[in-house]
Amino acid sequence: MGIRTASEPSLRHFLTGLGRAAGGAIIFALPMLMTMEMWALGFTLDVWKLCLLLVATIPVLLGLSYYGGFRCTFSLKDDLADVFVGMLIAGLMSTFVLWLFGVLTLETSLREAIGKIAVQVVPGGIGAMLARSQFGGDSATDDLRRERSSYWGELFMLATGALFLSFNVAPTEEIILIAFQMDAWREAALALASLLLMHVFVYVSNFKGGDERGAASHLSMFLRFSLTGYVLSLLISMAMLWIFGRSDGLSFYSFLSAALVLGFPASIGAAAARLVL
């Protein structure tokens, strides 16, 4: 009787975590599940790039599980288990939604179907890992997340936010179009606006989740977090453009211009991640 009583809460919490993960996966993946460019990428993206994307997603989800996954974990083994459970849930939910939309049918080839689902695992997996912070958690969970927080952990969160939003936008043609429409002065203004908006959004405005370390000077916070976060956003933007083939045939200047354009939503995503997490 005592054993059953001890195990029931654990099972209930695990099932609650799975429900949160499923909800988070749909919310985060839905914009891409309804985007034609993402459907096409599942078929046109090189297999090795698709595999690289999935492999690179694992450490990202591992970090998210450590800082705030869909259930509270206390060991690397549990975090790894949750990563693959989250990816599985993201894949299943994406398959179901794509089937409902008629994107996946009996006539869809196996290669195309796997590609379309695999591309959605990245945003869906991130949503699954962030489910607890979005759909509720106890005070003990929040205290644990604060205890685990560190400078490198905060940079990781910034990078994750940049990855998510840049992943949403990078496959679209509009990024390249906007880059071609902008001159050097507008590009410089966009870079400055991205950097300053990122700093104001997180560290100056009194939003919930904003930085509370009042002892540190604004210059120190700007250099250590805002500037570093913006550089991370640009690097991630470049990586996304390359993976999705948007850098093919571009000169270095055109590629840099596209990265600056994509860096705008990426930097906003980085700032928002600090507020959410």
6-19 per-position pLDDT tens digit: 444 466 767 777 88
Q: If DSSP codes are grouped into helix, strand and coil, which group holds residue 148?
A: helix
Mean pLDDT along residues 111-138 = 82
Dist. CA 188–CA 64, nearest whole Å:
33
Total-model pTM: 0.83
Dist. CA 239–CA 235, nearest whole Å:
6
Give 2's pLDDT tier (boundaries 50, 70, 90): very low
Residues composing the chain: 277
pLDDT > 90: percent of the chain: 42
pLDDT digits (tens, 9 = 90+) for 54-108: 999 999 999 888 877 666 667 788 888 889 999 999 999 999 999 999 999 988 8
Residue 126 has pLDDT above 70, yes or no: yes
Residues 6+ apart with CB under 8 A from 136: 20
pLDDT at 191: 95
Mean pLDDT along residues 157-165 = 91
Residues 6+ apart with CB under 8 A from 272: 161, 165, 201
